[in-house]
Amino acid sequence: MKLDQNTILGLAEHLEQAELQARDVTKITDDHPDMDWDDAYAIQDEIRRRKEARGSRTAGLKCGLTSFAKMKQMGVATPVFGFISDYMARPDGGEIKLAELIHPKVEAEICIVTKAPLRGPGCHVAAVMVATELVLPAVEVIDSRYRDFKFDLKSVIADNTSSARFVIGGRPRELDELDLRTLGVVLEINGEIRAMAAGAAVLGHPLAAVAMLANHLGARGQEIPAGTFVMTGGVTEAIAVKAGDSVAVRFQDLGTVSMRFV
Ligand code: 0L1
Ligand code: MG
């Protein structure tokens, strides 16, 4: 690690305040060009510790930048990992207030709930299949705290991978009823199709993202506990939304997830 503990604590407070006040900031690597990946995840861990200390519960784990479309959109080649908190959840069909956000974008995500712990190294798609209780559709609303979404990967990891809001759909299915690679997803805004993809857009199989998360955590002496909600990453590029937009994402076999931005 390159940053001392005080700097990590200060950067976590800086980024979390930007999130809570819906205020954009410049990317932190501008002032800390030497920070490394461990520093970035340590800042994210401190943001999680701050939220939990205030009574927020961690609602799940997320994989980001796992699809070719998203990697291309952001000009990166490596997935990232973060968490979502209970206060970020919004109901299916409900409203999301733009005043609480900076410049949100929506992403369609195939998600799972685990029934057994998953721990790397060596975690693979088959191990994730055995540990999958349910498959669920969700829409993630990302909202980078960085001005104009201008950042690098270390800055994004420290900013909890742009986590802001999420909406989970109401039709869970068991894994053996589905082929996650060919599962089609259509993202509509105000009735217009804006993006579509199949599950294989996420690393060839969405559960490969979960295996990657388990291996990432395993390298840090952690695991994905049983009963964890895991978002595998946007299947398409993220789409910016504005006031009045109605978003509906149609997931083959998993139903539709919708929300309106007000
Ligand atoms: O959920 C995600 O794909 C996180 C992406 C982080 C970068 C971004 O804000 O697009
Ligand atoms: Mg996402």
Q: What would the pLDDT profile of 74-126 be if each residue is shown by its tens digit?
A: 888 889 999 999 999 999 999 999 999 999 999 999 999 999 999 999 999 99
98 lines ligand 1 (CB under 6 A): no
What confidence category does residue 170 fall into, taking pLDDT thresholds of 50, 70 and 90? Answer: confident
Query: Can you give the pLDDT at residue 196?
Result: 97
Domains and CATH numbers, the chain: 58-261 (3.90.850.10)
Query: Can you give the pLDDT at residue 178?
Result: 98
Q: Which residues contact 192 (CB under 8 A, 6 or more apart)?
A: none
169 lines ligand 1 (CB under 6 A): no
For residue 238, the CA-to-ligand 2 centroid distance in Å is: 8
For residue 171, the CA-to-ligand 1 centroid distance in Å is: 25
Indicate whether 142 pLDDT > 90: yes
The pTM of the full predicted model, rounded to 2 decimals, is: 0.97
For residue 254, the CA-to-ligand 1 centroid distance in Å is: 23
Q: Which of 101, 162, 212, 230 to mutate to test the pocket of ligand 1 (most atoms within 8 A of CB)?
A: 162
